[in-house]
A and B are shown apart, each in its own frame.
Chain A
Amino acid sequence: MQDRPTLTPTQINEELLWPVFSFRRRHAIAFIPPMILLMGGVAAVTILVYQGLWVTGLARPAFWGFFIVNFVFWIGVSHAGTMISAILRLTQAEWKRPITRAAEVMTIFSLITSLLHPVIHAGRPWRIIYWLLPYDFSRGIWPDIRSPLVWDPIAITTYLTGSVLFVFTALIPDFALIRDQSTGLRKKIYGQLALGWRGTPRQWKLQGIFGLLMSALILPVFVSVHSIVSWDFAVSVVPAWHVTVYAPYFVIGAVHSGVSMVLTLMALMRWIFKLENYIWEDHFDAVGRLLIVIATLWLFFFFLDFAFSFYTREEQELAVMERRLFEWPFNAITVIMVFTSYIIPIPLWLSRRVRRNIPLMFWTSILVNIGMWLERYFLIIPAIERKQELTFLWSNYVPSLIESLVVLASFGMVGFLLLLFAKFVPLVPAWEAKEGVVFREDVQFGQVVLPGIIKETEEENVW
């Protein structure tokens, strides 16, 4: 356990708060790549709005393309935040501490990014205003709540609201910390945000209960969001979409890509913000172990979906499978997807040496997300290309440059927002880092020192 330094509160404050109080070169340089991607995206969307949807590759019957695939992908990534922080809070896993906030914030930003996609996809985004507002009280026409396209915004709004509240409430103690360390206008602003936080045992206790209660409340939302996104496809009668396993399959795929993205983020945070004292190799090890389980579950659901597409041997479904398995480019996509999201990373992660090798974990986590992006493409596009019963209504969707630029820009946008966020609050919760130090208890066992944790308990007898 040589890589677990013991830190003083002052040291924690200094090491975690420097991006807030100063703007160093490494932080500034990190802004460059996402900004380039983002600008490309802004240009592409401008052209799209000016020229119309013909600049995309969308054509009958495939009217859902890259934008929708990317929408589903980012909704998926947003699942990591809650998954990591809620499940780890509920199971009281000690290693959650440095990861939770970054993961939750990533949830918010990827949700916002994904929400942009249907808007861009509409082609004339300003019209969305007319569709949504004013609410038609006078004519008494209401949204059809039987449509999954109504369930979807409700679920995503719930999730976004919940995540924002979750992050904000857990931020209050850190706002107070910045308030106490600063002067002038900054002190005033953070003082307002901290709501007058003092740090009494009651306040801390409520923070603890809040973490558990909110996790228990947000977990069902998190499962429902991606389930409902999957029902956008699955409740229709499109062959290969109308599959009962879609909901859990989408959810577990989302968790797989999201947790891998957290891994990528952890490595980047460690490099950009010099967080070696907080994000340890142990954390990569733990996330890696978790990912083995998640990826294997994902594989199981993938297998269920795959195997049962041959179960009834219906022609349309077989046509979709034929396209997925034998026709260019889907044959390549299928192979790359299976290799990058399971066959390459998982055997590597089985080795403890690899799990503790941060550059290797960084690159394998990126591989997983390449695979998971392709998986969404694999699931959504071939089905819609072969939707009609008559073969002369079949089409092959070819994405355009404009669409690709928007996809790239979405990565830039999430990165940009995260870096911007890091300028204002620490990405690693300072109070949780300090709590971790207080609750740590290394125990000498013969000649080894083992890590222990202090547990509060009310029972007389504990095992």
Chain B
Amino acid sequence: MQKTDGNEVVIPGAPATQEDLTQELLHDSLQTGSRMRKALLISGVLSILGFVGLIMHFASGSSDHTTWNFYAVVYFYVFSVTMGIPMASIGLRMARAQWRRPTSRSAELFAIAGPINLIFFIPILLVAPPIEGRNSLWMDWALAPWFPDIIMMVLLVVTGLAFLYVSLLPDLASVRDHGIGRAQRIATILSRDWNGTKSQWSIHKSALGILGAFYITAYAMTHLVLATDFAMTLVPGWKDPIFPAFHAVTGIQMGTALLIVTMYLLRRLGGFGRYFELEQFWGYSRLLLALSLFYFYFWWCAFILFWYARLPHEQAVVALFISGDYADPSVFSRPQFLMFLGAIGFSFFLPLLLLMWNVLRRSIVGPTIVGVIILIGGFFDRMRLYANAWSVDQVGGHGLEYIPEINAPTISDLFVMVGMISSILFLYLLVSRVVGFVSLWETRQALLLRFVKPWGVGHVSVVIKPE
């Protein structure tokens, strides 16, 4: 820990001073350069593709849900990734991890993806088959599943946006007071009468706590109803209470992976190197390792039961999602098995084999590579689940009677994917023009709560944890 220069002890400093923070986060990062302009323009234009893809889908005239299978894959992939990111930040905030402070903003900004997820959810509701004759949590309720599901979705999106707004508030006030141009005008409207009084900060703190708890609850419940109503219900004989939890946890895993990749990009392209330091990557990579273990654990808990009990309807579920049709002699020509290999390989085995090494875990490039791997694995996983579940056309029955063919993805599915991702990127960058990628107030606090002091013949850093 010590850097000795001969007999002189050199005490390292904090990465920045309060003045540096003001300059960088309040003035420099809000300047829109040509590269940012280009990124905004491209992502804005590509956003339109999503709607083009949707129109193409509807124009093809098929209301058969098996032709929408890859739309479901794309939708639930983007939904899981983007809505999972704020969870990482909220969880760490509750655990009072100090190192997360410079990174929270870039995570919470992803709540802005909520409205996009809500819009593209509507086709899912329209084409998903009715629950009559199927297993369902809703007990033949006439309004199910669309009514409760849309309520949960709206609740999640609104809670996310509310959380984002509250966490932005102090920074909006800073932009109101010191910003320029359009950002300043927007901040003036949004920041309302925030002055940073004692009582405002105290309300702010409890609001973040309560909204965070609400977000976690809404997140779990939304994943519960979505995973049940749009995957489990479609497959006769598939009863798997852990699946909603698996769905939710993999969402957080993919979200954390995307956050690490985002941090890396902001470091490389945005010049935020001093905020996304080794410590932050290290912290998130530990979280990522834990979440990857959870991926396997939750998957295994379901698999071992189905494998062990050998009930015919559960064997069919294993065939549908893991092994592929037993009638096909070669496992490698079964698409279900290949999807499964991709999912577990990229979501669990590779991340585990890479992240178990301290050298890789404690680096900047290592977690980023694993992040990319997990984002790929997550896509495989959503494909394994939704492309297969949405291909089933059998209604009711005790178990799945045959393994269905999978309808191939179309160009419109690709358009939807590009469009959804671009529109989320567009909104993300757009909001960052008003408040920036790094939270000013949280980073200021981080600077106050940590300092380095001499100790013995060396030095140590002191972390303060306020209640």
Contact = CB atoms under 8 A, between A and B. Distances in A.
Interface of A: 90-91, 94, 220, 223, 227, 231, 234-237, 242-248, 293, 300-301, 304-305, 307-308, 310-313, 441, 443, 445, 450-463
Interface string B159-201: 0000000000000000000000000000000000000000000
B139 A455 contact: no
B369 interface: no
B275 to A, nearest CB: 8
B414 to A, nearest CB: 34
B8 to A, nearest CB: 16
B452 A462 contact: yes
Contacts of A300: 220, 245
Q: Which 5 A-B pairs have the closest CB atoms?
A: A461-B15, A308-B241, A245-B241, A235-B308, A452-B464
Which of A307, A312, A463 is the most central at the interface, judged by chain B CB atoms within 10 Å of its CB? A463
A453 B243 contact: no
B463 A453 contact: yes
B241 A304 contact: yes
B462 A454 contact: yes
A459 B241 contact: no
Interface in B210-227: 220, 224
Contact of B135 (A235, A237, A311, A460): A311
Given A310-B139, A453-B465, A463 B99 contact: yes
A227 B301 contact: yes
Contacts of A244: 239-243, 301-302, 305-306
Contacts of B137: 307-308, 310-311
B464 A455 contact: no
Contacts of B242: 244-245, 247-248, 304
Contacts of A293: 94
A210 to B, nearest CB: 15
Given A231-B304, A244-B241, A443 B464 contact: yes
A312 B14 contact: no
A308 B239 contact: yes
Contacts of A312: 135, 239
Contact of A243 (B15, B241, B308, B466): B241
B455 interface: yes
B432 interface: no
A248 B277 contact: no
B86 interface: no
26 contacts: A220-B293, A231-B304, A231-B305, A231-B308, A235-B309, A237-B309, A237-B311, A244-B239, A245-B301, A248-B301, A304-B224, A304-B241, A308-B239, A443-B464, A445-B448, A452-B464, A454-B455, A455-B460, A455-B463, A456-B1, A461-B13, A461-B277, A462-B15, A463-B98, A463-B275, A463-B443
A463 B450 contact: yes
Contact of B305 (A220, A234, A301, A441): A234
Interface residues of B, number: 58
Contacts of A459: 277-279
Nearest to B460: A454
Interface string B270-282: 0000110111100
B309 A236 contact: yes
Contact of A457 (B224, B302, B461, B465): B461
Contact of A460 (B12, B245, B309): B12
B244 interface: yes
Nearest to B309: A237
Given A300-B220, A455-B462, A463-B15, A242 B309 contact: yes
Contacts of B382: none
B14 A461 contact: yes
A177 to B, nearest CB: 22
Given A308-B137, A463-B275, A463-B280, 17 more contacts: A236-B309, A244-B241, A244-B243, A244-B301, A245-B241, A248-B298, A248-B301, A293-B94, A304-B242, A311-B136, A445-B448, A450-B466, A452-B464, A455-B460, A456-B1, A459-B279, A462-B452
A305 B466 CA distance: 38
Given A244-B302, A304-B244, A456-B1, A441 B462 contact: yes
B446 interface: yes
Contacts of B452: 462
B101 interface: yes
B248 to A, nearest CB: 9
B102 interface: yes
Contacts of A223: 297
B139 A462 contact: no
B102 A463 contact: yes
A235 B305 CA distance: 5
A245 B245 contact: yes
B95 A452 contact: no
Contacts of B14: 461-463
A445 B467 CA distance: 14
Contact of B446 (A91, A311, A456, A463): A463
B101 to A, nearest CB: 6
B297 A248 contact: yes
A226 to B, nearest CB: 12
A463 B447 contact: yes
Contacts of A245: 241-242, 245, 301
Which of B241, B277, B446 is the most central at the interface, judged by chain A CB atoms within 10 Å of its CB? B241
Given A235-B309, A453-B465, A458-B1, A463 B279 contact: yes
Nearest to B302: A244
Nearest to A282: B467
B462 A452 contact: yes
Interface in B66-120: 94-95, 97-99, 101-102
Nearest to A237: B309
Contacts of A235: 304-305, 308-309
A463 B273 CA distance: 13
Contacts of A441: 462
A455 B220 contact: no
Contacts of A236: 309
B245 A452 contact: no
Contacts of A227: 297, 301
Nearest to A313: B135
B200 to A, nearest CB: 18
Contacts of B102: 463
A91 B99 CA distance: 12
Contacts of A307: 137, 241
Nearest to B298: A248
Contacts of B464: 443, 445, 450-452
Interface string B3-21: 1000000001111000000
Contacts of A305: 241
A252 B139 CA distance: 28
B202 to A, nearest CB: 14
A312 B236 CA distance: 10
